[in-house]
Amino acid sequence: MKTLIKNGTVVNSTGSAPADVLIDGETIAAVLAPGSTLLGFDVENNVDSVIDAAGKYVIPGGIDAHTHMEMPFGGTFASDTFETGTRAAAHGGTTSIVDFVVQYAGENVLDQFSLWHEKARSNCAIDYGFHQILSDVQDSSLTAMDELVREGVSSFKLFMAYKGVFLSDDGQIVKAMQRASDNGSMIMMHAENGSVIDLLVQQSLQAGNTTPYYHGMTRPWQAEEEATHRAIMLANLTGAPLYVVHVSAKQAVEQIAQARDNGQNVFGETCPQYLYLSLEDQLGASSEEWGDFEGAKWVCSTPLRSKHEGHQHHMWQSLRTNDIQMVSTDHCPFCMKGQKDMGIGDFSKIPNGIGSVEHRMDLLYQGVVDKKISLERWVEITSTTPARMFGMYGKKGVLQPGADGDVVIYDPNGHTSIGVGKTHHMNMDYSAWEGYEIDGHVDTVLSRGKVIVDDNQYLGTKGDGKYVHRGLSQYLI
């Protein structure tokens, strides 16, 4: 099967130009000057299918490097399966995810890795890779880290919060970092001071402050800044590369920026919720249906920050200056009924997470329209850098010969109304993004040369998505 995408503007992170894209089978064969021949060969009349992308952007498919499909967490499971979550991602122009294999204390890392392969295999609409979560760092976990690198898992997430669930102490963190430093893998860090947060949560509940708003109030930016700094120092000590996940506080950005200025291999990820949403407007929301429990829809960690402290503005700026390198969703959806509602009367029992996997490309494109980032930077922070950061570049994250035919045709004259009614495809009974209007539209999505979404219709088959065997990071200084 040969497909020609013609008349569009090809946008890579390095620049954009009018060009035609020829896909042969699963791979991009050529990126050509518009209408040109290939060694005297009339391309258009020798392909099986022609897609006219006139007036549209042709971009490398989105890569969401932080998702939690059917994650066991908070006494329940994230509500999207690999099937529903990856289909929703495809609708939104994301053609690869990197999901987290979970290891709780006492569990065997490699057993968990096999289990996650079972969950994902034959179920995904788009390609998928894995990071590995480590909670207790057993001796067998350290040898498993080497084995996993050989299996295409080159990044390990540790938690400085969630005591008794995920939290690793500083000694365990250092052990894992030493191993990462030896085998070339990346340490990903959930950077919040868990002990301090646990104390503030108990005090808040005792004082009768039990609504979702207090989820935000008991996870202050100081707890994020402190943990970010500590993680940077431990990485400095061990020489491990460090990628700080879901950064929401401007003070944490400053820590990352300073470490980068010092030449350390430290990187930061933020998420759409930290660019758009706030403690006051979302966690503090109330509705007829839920009263002041409405805010539970946006309970995630790190939490949404106060709109009066300049975090959101700083986060957009850090995306421009490369103090923050990329945007993932931290997609971890829970329904209000039967899941989030476990926390009525006690915000600490609300499962933490927001679902956005379908909307990341659109929400960030709106940043282009609003002149917060450039068109090329949009592609860079949503596709190219995730590919480089996590060892997929060349096949993913770029439109060039030899790359996978993961392509999104994006219409800047189209329009997307997010989440009004049940218009999204995620397995959630609400939308965290209801009412957001995007001046653009995902028109056509190809995954390794196959059209899987066209004109809002899903045309793929479950199991189209294949495991991505990742290499080591291609982003290190």
Binding site for ligand URP (CB under 6 A): 68, 190, 246, 300-301, 330, 332, 352-353
Q: How far is the CB of 14 from Zn ion (least distance, A)?
A: 26
Q: How far is the CB of 352 from ligand URP (least distance, A)?
A: 3
Judged by CB under 5 A, does residue 24 bind Zn ion?
A: no
Judged by CB under 5 A, does residue 192 bind Zn ion?
A: no
Nearer to ligand URP, 192 or 380 (CB): 192
Residue 319 contact, options Zn ion, ligand URP, none, Cβ 5-8 Å cut-off depending on partner type: none
Structure-token match 């028109």, residue found: 443
Nearby residues of 468 by Cβ (< 8 Å), 6 or more positions away: 96, 98, 127, 128, 129, 152, 392, 395, 396
One of 440, 443, 445, 447 touching Zn ion (CB under 5 A): 443
302 upstream amide cis, omega within 30 of 0: yes
> 189 φ, ψ to 5°?
-125, 130
Q: How far is the CB of 189 from ligand URP (least distance, A)?
A: 10
One of 6, 190, 229, 466 touching Zn ion (CB under 5 A): 190
Nearer to ligand URP, 353 or 397 (CB): 353
Per the CB < 8 A criterion, the answer to whether 121 and 155 are in contact is no
Residue 352 contact, options Zn ion, ligand URP, none, Cβ 5-8 Å cut-off depending on partner type: ligand URP
| Rg, the chain, Cα only | 22
Residue 225 contact, options ligand URP, Zn ion, none, Cβ 5-8 Å cut-off depending on partner type: none
Nearer to ligand URP, 93 or 194 (CB): 194
Structure-block tokens of residue 156: 């390990």
Q: How far is the CB of 38 from ligand URP (least distance, A)?
A: 45
One of 2, 414, 458, 462 touching Zn ion (CB under 5 A): 414
Q: How far is the CB of 27 from ligand URP (least distance, A)?
A: 33
Q: How is 420-456 classified by DSSP, letter by letter?
A: SSS-S-SS-SS-TTTT-EES-EEEEEEETTEEEEETT
For residues 324 and 464, what is the distance between their CA atoms, to the nearest angstrom? 32
Give the count of beta carbons closer than 10 Å to the beta carbon of residue 82. Answer: 24
Residue 300 contact, options Zn ion, ligand URP, none, Cβ 5-8 Å cut-off depending on partner type: ligand URP
H-helix or E-strand spanning residue 174: helix 170-183
